[in-house]
Structure 1
Amino acid sequence: MELSERIQISSGFLLQAPPGEINDVLNDVRCIINNDEELQAGVQPALREYNLEQFITVESPGNNHQCIISEAARLPASDDESEERFIDPRAKTSFIFDHLALEASDPQPHELDAESEPLRSALDNATQTYLTAHFHDGVASIFSKGNGVREFIIQVVANKYNPSNYWSGRWRSEYTISFDEGKVTGKILVHVHYYEQGNVQLTTAHDVSFNLPPGITFSDSSAASKILALVEDEESKYQISLNETYQEMSEKTFKSLRRALPLTRSKIDWDKILGYKLGAELSGSKEGHVASS
Structure 2
Amino acid sequence: MGSTIDITSAFIAGAPPGELQDVVKDIKALTSDNDPTLIAKLKPAFQKYNEDQLIPVKLPGASDYVLITAYNRVPSSTNKYYDTQSSTSFEFDHSTSKAFGSQSYTHETTHSDLIQSILKSLSTHFAEHYPSQQQTASASSSSGYTVAATPEDDKVAILLSTTRSSPKNFLSGRWRSTFLFNPANGTLSGTLKVDVHYYEDGNVALSTTKNIPDVSVDGGGDGASIVRKVAAIEKQYQEEVNRAFVGMNESSFKALRRQLPVTRQKIEWERVRGYGLGSDLRGEAKR
Q: With structure 2 as the length reference, what TM-score do the two structures score? A: 0.80
Partner of 1:55: 54
Deviation by residue 1:217-270 (Cα, 9 ceiling, x = unmatched): 4xxxxx21111111111111111111111111222334456899xxxxxxx876
Are 1:113 and 1:146, in contact at CA under 8 Å, matched by a contact in 2?
A: no
1:103: Cα distance to partner?
1.9
CA RMSD, Structure 1 to Structure 2 (Å): 3.0
Q: Does 1:167 align with 2:166?
A: no
Partner of 1:13: 11
Partner of 1:151: 155
Partner of 1:192: 196
Aligned residues: 259
| Residue ranges of structure 2 left out of the alignment (5+ in a row) | 133-142, 265-275
Deviation by residue 1:85-134 (Cα, 9 ceiling, x = unmatched): 21111111222211122222222322234752222112112111111111
1:151: Cα distance to partner?
2.1
Partner of 1:64: 63
Cα distance change on mapping 1:146 and 1:34 into 2, 3 Å: closer
Letter of the 2:129 partner, please give it: H
Aligned-partner SS, 1:37 = coil
Partner of 1:40: 39
Q: Does 1:116 align with 2:142?
A: no
Cα distance change on mapping 1:212 and 1:32 into 2, 3 Å: same
Separation in structure 1 between the aligned mates of residue 97 and residue 8 of structure 2, nearest angstrom? 19
Partner of 1:87: 82
Cα distance change on mapping 1:179 and 1:10 into 2, 3 Å: same
1:14: Cα distance to partner?
1.4
Are 1:60 and 1:88, in contact at CA under 8 Å, matched by a contact in 2?
A: no
Deviation by residue 1:32-74 (Cα, 9 ceiling, x = unmatched): 3124732222322211111111111222244332111110111
Separation in structure 2 between the aligned mates of residue 186 and residue 114 of structure 1, nearest angstrom? 21
Q: With structure 1 as the length reference, what TM-score do the two structures score? A: 0.78
Separation in structure 2 between the aligned mates of residue 236 and residue 136 of structure 1, nearest angstrom? 15
Are 2:219 and 2:225, in contact at CA under 8 Å, matched by a contact in 1?
A: no
> Which one scores higher on RCO, CA 8 angstroms, separation ≥ 6?
2
1:205: Cα distance to partner?
0.8
Cα distance change on mapping 1:14 and 1:213 into 2, 3 Å: closer
Separation in structure 2 between the aligned mates of residue 193 and residue 64 of structure 1, nearest angstrom? 28
Letter of the 1:136 partner, please give it: P
Cα distance change on mapping 1:241 and 1:92 into 2, 3 Å: same
1:15: Cα distance to partner?
1.1
Separation in structure 1 between the aligned mates of residue 84 and residue 90 of structure 2, nearest angstrom? 11
Separation in structure 2 between the aligned mates of residue 259 and residue 22 of structure 1, nearest angstrom? 30
- Which is greater in Rg? 1
Cα distance change on mapping 1:259 and 1:135 into 2, 3 Å: closer
Partner of 1:265: none
| Residue ranges of structure 1 left out of the alignment (5+ in a row) | 218-222, 261-267, 284-293
Are 1:10 and 1:32, in contact at CA under 8 Å, matched by a contact in 2?
A: no
Question: Identity over aligned residues, as a percent?
Answer: 30
Could you tell me which of 91, 96, 99 is aligned with 1:101? 96
Q: Post-superposition, which runs of at least 4 consecutive aligned residues in structure 1 deviate over 6 A?
A: 268-271
Deviation by residue 1:130-173 (Cα, 9 ceiling, x = unmatched): 111111033100002498x5521100000111111110000000
Separation in structure 2 between the aligned mates of residue 170 and residue 145 of structure 1, nearest angstrom? 23
Separation in structure 2 between the aligned mates of residue 126 and residue 84 of structure 1, nearest angstrom? 29
Partner of 2:182: 178
Partner of 2:212: 208
Separation in structure 1 between the aligned mates of residue 125 and residue 257 of structure 2, nearest angstrom? 42
Greater mean alpha carbon deviation, residues 89-98 or residues 168-177: 89-98
